[in-house]
Structure 1
Amino acid sequence: MVDFAALTARIPALTDAAAYRETVWVNHGRLPWAVAASRLDVTASAIDAAADRLARFAPLIAHLFPETTPAGGLIESPLVEAPRLGAALGVPGRLLLKLDSHLPIAGSVKARGGIYEVLKHAETLALDAGILRSTAADYRVLASADARAFFGGYSVQVGSTGNLGLSIGLSAAALGFRAIVHMSADAQQWKKDLLRARGVLVREHAGDYTAAVAAGRAAADADPTSHFVDDEHSVDLLLGYAVAGRRTAAQLDALGVRPTVEAPLTVHLPCGVGGAPGGIALGLKTVYGDAVRCWFVEPTHAPCLLVGMASGLGDYASIADFGLDGRTIADGLAVGRPSGLVAELMAPLLDGIVTVDDARLLPWVRLLHATESLDVEPSAVASFRGLTELAARDPAAAAGPQLAWLTGGGLVPAAVHAAWRRAGRRV
């Protein structure tokens, strides 16, 4: 039996976390890339295969979602400079923002992993049924009436606080699947309304994210025609996110950002269960190796990956074991138990984890709007805590290029954005 009280007393980051204090956990188990890469189960070739699959689907995506047409059916977001925000936050180096908050289709980073897993599942079914004769076929055949009728015999289910549910629900329904999203009590009403308007069945659960995932997994297990997208254990989700890390390298190069071991790129990623930041970090590492430093940021009330990694217990530990309640305005990060897959994968790769108090988030939402005319959800600006902490703790590293990954908010109603900005002013 684990003595969580003893762990809390022995490990400073857990002492802080259990008291809801902002903290920094430095991963002393991080290894040089050449050593870490040889031990990873998820390889660069698997990421390349995922990128190839997304390219095969691009004509179909452009057909189903015309907003992706300018990018040729690729689900991609801009990388932009943010000098005014950097000055306001006291960031001494060059600040870049990755706008996954404005990804097409689902308006969040979850459009990457979630939609990729739905597409891979659709491809497998279609190839087995002969609807696709080969991977060289024109995938737009999957938009035909016959294909939609075929997919209608299957369901896709997921448990979510909102954003993953949007990506899975919207993409699965567009292909003709019966899409079912199990949503936790802290999911926002507008997300449920949007899903229902697009023909997605939303099942609401009184518990938290973990309870919604468990309910979705049980429902899918009971239905042989159902596929469950498992945010805690899915390698396919992880690969969809990892493609983003590799694509971002080309965008960085176009902006003249060429990281080296002596002048590394530091990336700040909001973290919930861990799949999205874990996949992105892995993708970046396969390109830059030791020339990129990756930090995750979690809310003080829901630092699930911090407690899992700092304790060494992975997904055996939950925030409840340390007396934490999981209540945060950053609803996309309100997760009680980390992905064991990600905790293990990140053990030799991640630089560390920073936590952020909710009181900072709405003022930062307002600041981002004022400085860069960008509207995002509170979860997205959690990454700014990494920027301010690094500037205070390691000025030399902070002087190098910094990349804050904005993870969601593109589909948020304008009235909700306005309310967040007003609340940020009051804080």
Structure 2
Amino acid sequence: MTTPQSSADTATGTAADRAELPGLPVTLADIEEARKLLDGVIVPTPLDHSRALGRLTGSVVHLKCENLQRAGSFKVRGAYVRMAKLSEDQRARGVVAASAGNHAQGVALAASKLGIKATIFMPRGVALPKLQATKDHGAEVMLHGNNVDEALSEAQRYADESGSVFIHPFDNADVVAGQGTIGLEILEQDPEIDTLVLGIGGGGLLAGVAVAVKEMARRQGRHINIIGVQAENAAAYPPSLAADAVVPLSHVSTIADGIAVGKPGQIPFQIIKELVDGVVTVSEDAIANALVFLLERSKMVVEPAGVVGVAALLEGKLAELGIESKHTVAVLSGGNVDPMLMLKVIQSGLAAGGRYLTVKISLRDRPGELSNISRIISETEANVTRVDHSRIGGSLSMGDVTITIDMETRGPEHSEQVLGRLRSSGYQPIVQH
């Protein structure tokens, strides 16, 4: 990877930036060609100025809103470019793909526009809105496996047996070129950008954008930092980059299902290791907190995979890399989120931000105890949302009960005030995580 540059280095660029990019499987010319193919097919998505993120980071921050793209994510770009280049014979045989949702919808939409039959394999337990949306675009959906990697294997087997053309979600040069068109749009919308932050699953989006942005920056004689972000429970790129070879993960588990990929693509990996300035990881709590932040401060509905760039900014990951950014862009890669998952993530995000407190309290089973606790909480101006009352439990003595209380608070300091009042009143609240 290249070395991150501070803001003082961005004016003229380094010698490496001014040199020709290394021979890569995708070029700027490929991306410019892809952009012509996508004319009239995709929506050039807006760049939204986030004052709230700017105040927190000390940088001018814009959000590239691919959550507003057709089919709800950037995936339609790469899928359409790949399929538009198929021969008539290949189109007649149909296409097959695998995805947890976004690539599925992108392929289904592209297939409907090009008049191609599409069969999509999705993991069992896929979010119902993504499943239904894929069907609504006219694709035949098959459920297989417990994760994207298992669905991918089955889709590849189906392609080999049926003769259908396999449309890989990220490990294909045409797909990477299609995703790279986002980079061209960003540079036109924010010519002063010096740092770009976006999520990584298999790597197709990051790879394509890196080629576009780095080559354009090279021609301008300047440096633009490109930082990839992974969920820490689905982070295959850090060990792969350290080993200088693709290293698959044995287990992947994250709420960010759109980037829950256990093995980098060979083509994206080749590009990312040459062009990307750094890869960082963010926790599940940080992802949930970023989703809530965007809902509240930017009025944006974004899926967990689409908020990891914002999570990295909120967590100060650029500073950890020694990057001082003046003009930052974070890509919101998709907005296809299951409402049930959103409910859980919002609760988790509020808890991570200290605004949702759950406590368990053991007390004597006698009149007035629950009323007294309710009074204390009311006096601290916390808002009780749920109370669970139990007389049965392995740790309970005869005549004791346990209550579990969920409440909304104004933040960490307010939560501590509530806990302090309960303790000073003789109770022993145990915070539940």
TM category (shorter chain) comes to 0.7 to 0.9
SS in 1 for 2:233: coil
1:318, 1:337 within 8 Å by CA — same for their partners in 2? Answer: yes
Look up the match of 1:272: 201
- The whole-number CA distance in structure 2 between the counterparts of 1:307 and 1:185 is 28
Look up the match of 2:350: 425
With 383-392 and 214-223 compared, the bigger mean Cα shift is at 383-392
Deviation digits for residues 353-410 of structure 1 (CA, Å, limit 9, x no counterpart):
0011111111211111111111101111111243233454366x3341111111111x
What is the aligned counterpart of 2:52 among 71, 78, 84? 84
2:289, 2:311 within 8 Å by CA — same for their partners in 1? Answer: no
Cα distance change, pair 269–281 in 1 and its aligned pair in 2 (3 A): same
2:178, 2:208 within 8 Å by CA — same for their partners in 1? Answer: yes
1:312 corresponds to 2:239: no
Cα distance change, pair 192–394 in 1 and its aligned pair in 2 (3 A): closer
With 381-390 and 300-309 compared, the bigger mean Cα shift is at 381-390
Structure 2 unaligned blocks of 5 or more: 6-14, 353-433
Look up the match of 2:285: 359
Select the structure that is richer in helix: 1
Look up the match of 1:7: none
- CA shift, 1:44, in A, is 1.9
- The whole-number CA distance in structure 2 between the counterparts of 1:394 and 1:178 is 46
1:45 corresponds to 2:32: no
Amino acid at match of 1:248: I
What is the aligned counterpart of 1:75 among 4, 24, 43? 43
2:171, 2:202 within 8 Å by CA — same for their partners in 1? Answer: no
What is the aligned counterpart of 2:297 among 364, 368, 371? 371
- CA shift, 1:166, in A, is 1.0
Select the structure that is richer in strand: 2
Asked which structure has the greater CA Rg, the reply is 2
Structure 1 unaligned blocks of 5 or more: 1-25, 62-73, 130-150, 260-264
1:171 corresponds to 2:105: no
- Identity level (%): 24
1:329, 1:358 within 8 Å by CA — same for their partners in 2? Answer: yes
Cα distance change, pair 272–327 in 1 and its aligned pair in 2 (3 A): same
1:326-345 equivalence runs, <5 A? 326-345=252-271
Deviation digits for residues 292-319 of structure 1 (CA, Å, limit 9, x no counterpart):
11110001111112221121122xx111
- CA shift, 1:413, in A, is 5.8
- CA shift, 1:420, in A, is 3.5
1:158 corresponds to 2:97: yes
Amino acid at match of 2:108: G
Look up the match of 1:193: 132
- CA shift, 1:176, in A, is 2.8
1:212 corresponds to 2:212: no
Look up the match of 1:283: 212
Cα RMSD over matched residues? 2.5
1:85, 1:368 within 8 Å by CA — same for their partners in 2? Answer: no
Deviation digits for residues 188-244 of structure 1 (CA, Å, limit 9, x no counterpart):
2221122223331111112422221121112112223x2111234310101101122
Deviation digits for residues 144-197 of structure 1 (CA, Å, limit 9, x no counterpart):
xxxxxxx6x431111112111110012213433221111124532221122223
Look up the match of 1:15: none
TM-score normalised by the chain length of structure 2: 0.72
- The whole-number CA distance in structure 1 between the counterparts of 2:80 and 2:337 is 19
1:231, 1:339 within 8 Å by CA — same for their partners in 2? Answer: no
Cα distance change, pair 391–206 in 1 and its aligned pair in 2 (3 A): closer
1:328, 1:358 within 8 Å by CA — same for their partners in 2? Answer: yes
- The whole-number CA distance in structure 2 between the counterparts of 1:308 and 1:82 is 33
Amino acid at match of 1:273: G
Q: Work out which structure has the larger RCO, using CA pairs closer than 8 Å and 6 or more positions apart in sequence.
A: 1
- The whole-number CA distance in structure 2 between the counterparts of 1:29 and 1:342 is 20
1:251 corresponds to 2:189: yes
Look up the match of 2:235: 303
2:195, 2:325 within 8 Å by CA — same for their partners in 1? Answer: no
Cα distance change, pair 215–36 in 1 and its aligned pair in 2 (3 A): farther
Amino acid at match of 2:53: L
Amino acid at match of 2:112: A
Look up the match of 1:67: none
1:166, 1:191 within 8 Å by CA — same for their partners in 2? Answer: yes
Amino acid at match of 1:32: A
- The whole-number CA distance in structure 1 between the counterparts of 2:316 and 2:241 is 20
Look up the match of 1:133: none
- CA shift, 1:27, in A, is 5.6
Amino acid at match of 1:318: P
Count of equivalent residues: 339
- The whole-number CA distance in structure 2 between the counterparts of 1:367 and 1:247 is 25
- The whole-number CA distance in structure 2 between the counterparts of 1:296 and 1:413 is 25
Deviation digits for residues 267-310 of structure 1 (CA, Å, limit 9, x no counterpart):
11100000111111211112113421111000111111222112
Look up the match of 1:146: none
- The whole-number CA distance in structure 2 between the counterparts of 1:402 and 1:29 is 14
- The whole-number CA distance in structure 1 between the counterparts of 2:168 and 2:199 is 19
1:91, 1:398 within 8 Å by CA — same for their partners in 2? Answer: no
Amino acid at match of 2:320: R
Deviation digits for residues 239-266 of structure 1 (CA, Å, limit 9, x no counterpart):
101122112211113xxx2x5xxxxx11
SS in 2 for 1:348: helix
Cα distance change, pair 283–391 in 1 and its aligned pair in 2 (3 A): closer
What is the aligned counterpart of 2:61 among 61, 71, 95? 95
1:127-142 equivalence runs, <5 A? none
SS in 2 for 1:291: coil
- The whole-number CA distance in structure 2 between the counterparts of 1:333 and 1:194 is 19
TM-score normalised by the chain length of structure 1: 0.73
SS in 2 for 1:77: coil
- The whole-number CA distance in structure 1 between the counterparts of 2:119 and 2:184 is 31
1:355, 1:385 within 8 Å by CA — same for their partners in 2? Answer: no
- The whole-number CA distance in structure 1 between the counterparts of 2:243 and 2:3 is 13
- The whole-number CA distance in structure 2 between the counterparts of 1:111 and 1:370 is 28
Look up the match of 1:223: 162
2:123, 2:147 within 8 Å by CA — same for their partners in 1? Answer: yes
- CA shift, 1:350, in A, is 0.8
